[in-house]
Amino acid sequence: MRNPASGDIAAPPIAFAGSPLDRADNVRSDPEALAGMMGWRTKVLLLDGLLPQFDDNGALEWGSLADVGEETELVFLGLLDGSPRFAPVPQRSDSGPANPRSWQVMQLLAPADLAIYGGARSLVDWHARHRFCANCGAPTKLAKGGWQRSCPSCGAEHFPRTDPVTIMLVEHEGALLLGRQPRFPPRMFSALAGFVEPGETIEEAVEREVFEEAGIEVEDVRYVASQPWPFPSQLMIGCRSVARSRELTIDETELDDARWFTRDELIEARDAGEHGTPDLIFPRPFAIAHHLLNWWLEK
């Protein structure tokens, strides 16, 4: 993660970022160029639904056109190591949050492979959920190498979406406010988060979400870092903010609990590893909340 103030880059890198693919945007709009890529050099990302398959070295497994059916829709991911890379659109989508199998994938794949997989997962999942036109209901067709779906019936054009989500540190006099959602494991707390709504700036979304979830008014909202999150397709926009007070009014429909943690408590939980302390399990390394907390602890 890049520290905006210092330009330093912390390790490990943020999960799902840093894809080595050349997206080759100029190729997407050229049907002849795309058709010319369909040959023996073509590599297709092998998926089991939306989960990746692994080769003998534990890396993403790439097959050939012969490994997918002729009727399978293929999305052009880009170029890598001199070969065009594609991913197949599955029959079913999965728009839910990350599950235990997803977390296992994050632990097994190297950062570059994880970034490739994350982008491919978001894209093919979108296609699986948009086979019919939202305007007229007619079947749509893949276009521009998979970076668009077009409706032959009404002419509407549909594009892959990414939903912006703010995830924010809320600090007050040396402490951070963290919350826990009902689906979290016991003792796990994380940064508050919420979707950016239409007509909002990022700063306004941070202020609204913190007030709605915890009853806290914040100011001095600053951007820190971002993370693509493919469950199903979000952009996590990491920010920091300063609370005007510590008096909490928790929205129990959103959070099970919210608490202020001191710097020492956070460091102790981080250093304790995956099992944490009796009061806190630090956010997992693959979540941007982990990087945001480390950024705050080290600044």
State the pairing for strand pair 62-63/43-45.
antiparallel
Determine the Cα–Cα distance for residues 163 and 138; give it in Å rounded to an integer: 25
Determine the Cα–Cα distance for residues 46 and 53; give it in Å rounded to an integer: 6
The answer to whether the peptide bond before residue 139 is cis (omega within 30 degrees of 0) is: no
Q: Render each residue's pLDDT in the chain as its tens digit; 299 residues.
A: 444 333 343 456 899 999 999 999 999 999 999 999 999 999 999 999 999 999 999 999 999 999 998 899 999 999 999 899 999 999 988 777 788 888 899 999 999 999 999 999 999 999 999 999 999 999 999 999 999 999 999 999 999 999 999 999 999 999 999 999 999 999 999 999 999 999 999 999 999 999 999 999 999 999 999 999 999 999 999 999 999 999 999 999 999 999 999 999 999 999 999 999 999 999 999 999 999 999 999 98
Determine the Cα–Cα distance for residues 18 and 36; give it in Å rounded to an integer: 28
What's the full length of the chain, in residues?
299
Joined together, the tokens standing for residue 200 give: 């909002």
Contact 167, 191 (CB under 8 A): yes
pTM above 0.85, yes or no: yes
Contact 146, 78 (CB under 8 A): no
* Residue matched to tokens 């497994």: 61
Domains of the chain, by residue range, sit at 1-129, 131-160, 163-298
Question: What backbone torsions phi and psi does residue 252 show, to the nearest 5 degrees?
Answer: -75, -5
Q: Which amino acid is at 285?
A: P
163-298 topology per CATH: Nucleoside Triphosphate Pyrophosphohydrolase (3.90.79)
